[in-house]
Amino acid sequence: MTTLSVVLITGISGSGKSVALRMLEDAGYTCIDNLPVRFLHEFIASMREDSSKRVAVAIDVRSPGDLDELPDVITALRSMGTQLRVVFLDSDDETLTQRYSESRRRHPLSDRISAGGTVPSLQECISLERELLDPLRNQAHVVDTSGLIPGQLRTWIRDLVQADRSPLILTFESFAFKNGVPRDADLVFDVRCLPNPHYDPMLRPLTGRDQPVAQWLSGFDDVCAMIDDIESFIRKWLPRYTEDTRSYLTVAIGCTGGKHRSVYVVETLGRRFADHKQQLVRHRNRPEFV
């Protein structure tokens, strides 16, 4: 008998939940948006009797009144053996502000927290939303969508839900320090101290996945030593993270532009950890890799 698989999409308004839900719908999931928390148990129970075995539900601050009950509901469902994967989408404030400006939509909390005819600012709404949703972050895999194009987010969500939930999903992610550290990072390693292919005119247009760049970087002892040290650290502490009942661990590798060094290191670590079945490799600043 096939086990019902449930993906719960939540997170900050404007972070891409609609994009994620549409991707899951295209992948054959039965999807429902803005489900009140009090109906989640009933909905999942009803779907167990349905022919569909893959379900996606979006719940966020639009859910009236009972959002604070969601962490306990998630814990209860998991204790009953429900295969429930929670994905928390987030973005930095600058990205959220830009997206609201482009869409010209009101924040869903605008009307709920207005007082005396005074309309709250977008920043006030975002801050309150973060406070309301903060208890969910510890029960979810956090995906920082800042700077991502929709195609990247669709690919990341697709790869995430295709990975088995147990044991821990290990993610290696490259990024550019000039754009800030990703909010979804659990461990961050800075490789800006390594030799930079950017200063070689022949290598500059390429990326860390191209053979000439990989061959150039692999010729430096410091590059090899850095990768060895990162691998050693992760192999030593990965069992402890697993014992801590984590479902996800995101290792972020950063360089200046997120094009050469961090990409090469992430690709190399991905190959070295090929023995870890539940592994994802992604590159935040390289949309052409989608």
- What pLDDT score does 168 carry? 82
Q: What's the alpha-carbon Rg for the chain, to the nearest Å?
A: 21
Q: What is the pLDDT averaged over residues 164-179?
A: 84
Which residues are CB-contacts of 77 (< 8 A; sequence separation ≥ 6)? 6, 40, 41, 44, 84
Report whether 24 contacts 47 (CB < 8 A). Answer: no
Interval 67-121: pLDDT, tens = 888 888 998 888 888 888 899 999 999 999 999 888 888 888 887 776 666 778 8
Backbone angles phi, psi at 197, to 5 degrees: -65, -15
Q: Where does the pLDDT of residue 147 fall: very low under 50, low under 70, confident under 90, or very high at 90 and above?
A: confident
Q: Which of the residue ranges 23-27, 39-43, 79-83, 255-259 would you say has the lowest mean pLDDT?
A: 79-83
- What pLDDT score does 260 carry? 97
Q: Where does the pLDDT of residue 54 fall: very low under 50, low under 70, confident under 90, or very high at 90 and above?
A: confident
The continuous run of DSSP H or E covering 180 comes out as: none
Number of Cβ within 10 Å of residue 261's Cβ equals 27
Q: What is the pLDDT averaged over residues 228-243?
A: 93
Residue 289 has pLDDT above 90, yes or no: no
Start and end residues for every CATH 3.40.50.300 domain found in the chain? 5-162
Q: At which residue do the structure tokens 């390594």 appear?
A: 194
Examine residue 167 and say whether the peptide bond preceding it is cis (omega within 30 degrees of 0): yes
Residue 15 region, left (φ>0) first, then alpha (ψ -120 to 50), else beta?
A: alpha
- What pLDDT score does 179 carry? 93
Q: What is the pLDDT averaged over residues 2-21?
A: 89
Which residues share a beta bridge with 283?
174
Report whether 52 contacts 30 (CB < 8 A). Answer: yes
- What pLDDT score does 287 carry? 80
Of the candidates 13, 17, 9, which has an alpha carbon nearest to the alpha carbon of residue 130? 13
Please provide the average confidence, as pLDDT, over all residues in the chain.
89
- What pLDDT score does 235 carry? 96
Interval 177-220: pLDDT, tens = 999 999 999 999 999 999 999 999 999 999 999 999 999 999 99
CATH 3.40.50.300 fits 5-162, yes or no: yes
- What is the percent of the chain with per-residue pLDDT over 70, rounded to a whole number? 93
Q: Where are the beta strands (DSSP E) in 22-106?
A: 30-33, 54-58, 83-90
How far apart are alpha carbons 222 and 220 in whole angstroms?
5
Tokens representing residue 268 in the block: 């190399």
How far apart are alpha carbons 280 and 164 in whole angstroms?
11
Residue 52 has pLDDT above 70, yes or no: no
Q: What is the 3-state secondary structure (H, E, C) of 163-227?
A: CCCCCCEEEEEEEEHHHCCCCCCCEEEECCCCCCHHHCCCCCCCCCCCHHHHHHHHCCHHHHHHH
Tokens representing residue 125 in the block: 């709404």
Specify the pTM: 0.75
- What pLDDT score does 51 carry? 57
How far apart are alpha carbons 222 and 36 in whole angstroms?
53
Which residues share a beta bridge with 18?
none
